[in-house]
Copies of this chain bind each other. A is one copy, B any other.
Amino acid sequence: MSVRERKERERAHRHQLIVTTARELAEEQGWEAVTTRRLAERIEYSQPVLYSHFRGKREIVGAVALEGFAELAAAMRRAVADSSGGRAAVSALAETYVGFAERNPALYDAMFLLDTGLPFADAATPAPLREGFGALLDTLRDVAGDADPGLFVEVFWAAMHGLVALTRSGRLPAEGSAQRLDLLVDRFAGRP
């Protein structure tokens, strides 16, 4: 039954190829350029093949987003570990988050802007998502004071997301981005 195994391996490989190609294409030309036709052409298969791997375009975006959550969580863990704790850890966290969004704009959109159908804060929430929230939680717990840590994380995360989203859509000017982030960290982790 080695034939079946080989086929499954090839299928998994093609599955990953679709996700990777979608991500590349999105990062190159934005998600609006990621059409099923273009995607099919790039992977050198016809469109229906996409639908044998994913329920639809939305699920492909979701798969890309999932990669992003794993990478962001890892990056945040690393940044915190390399910092000296306390306010510095929060600052490192925030800069990593915003830096990640700047370096991977399309990936960030898939994670936090587009409709992916991924369940957040739910029994079925995928592991990489929980990991990301956990990374935030472990760092921010120390500075949350008497506030509920979970709530504290949610608000801090939302604030960072707001800054990223408004800046990326041109509703906040690009200049002053660093100062805004500093001010935010001040408010949540105290002055240096």
Residues of A within 8 A of B (CB): 112-113, 115, 120-121, 147-148, 151-152, 154-155, 157-163, 165-166, 169-173, 176, 179-180, 183-184, 186-188
Contact = CB atoms under 8 A, between A and B. Distances in A.
A183 B147 contact: yes
Please report whether the interface of chain A is mostly helix, strand, loop or mixed according to DSSP: helix
Contacts of A179: 148, 151
A133 B64 CA distance: 36
A154 B176 contact: yes
Q: What's the number of copies of this chain in the assembled complex?
A: 2
A187 B183 CA distance: 11
A186 B157 CA distance: 16
Contacts of A115: 169
A162 to B, nearest CB: 3
A120 B155 contact: no
Interchain residue pairs A-B with the least CB separation, the first 4: A162-B162, A158-B162, A159-B159, A161-B162
